[in-house]
Amino acid sequence: MNVKNFIVGGIVGGITDFLMGWLLYGMLLKDYFPKPEGAGEENLVFIFLGCMSFGFMLSFIFNQGEGISKCVPGVKLAAGIALFMSLCNNFFYNMYNATINWSMLATDVVVSIVIASVVGAVIAVVNGKMK
């Protein structure tokens, strides 16, 4: 594994994830995804750390096995990972809900895939530029 690609890709991917999340969840879909009942103010530090963790996870996967350094393979792999991660997260999030808002669940899965696809493309391009 190329450690330099891993670190730079993880940082750039995490920042991309943060900005895409801010744009989609924070601005465009802010009213569609209400805060949970009793929730306080968002902790941006934890949001940023979560985004950085996702960026480093994708960077690790891209650098560990395949050495993904092209945009299309990066988009495909990231979209697949996001599909299963977002389904898992949404199923666990809704485990206590008596009624499920399937539309919101599906929208969250799609938005997660879009964000991850952009992050995957960015990390793959960074890997390609650093060869």
pTM score, whole prediction? 0.93
pLDDT given for residue 41 in this prediction = 87
pLDDT given for residue 34 in this prediction = 80
Write out residues in the chain with pLDDT < 70, as ranges: 66
Q: What is the pLDDT of residues 24-52, one digit of tens each?
A: 999 999 999 887 777 888 899 999 999 99
- Within 8 A by CB and 6+ apart from 32, the residues are 104, 107
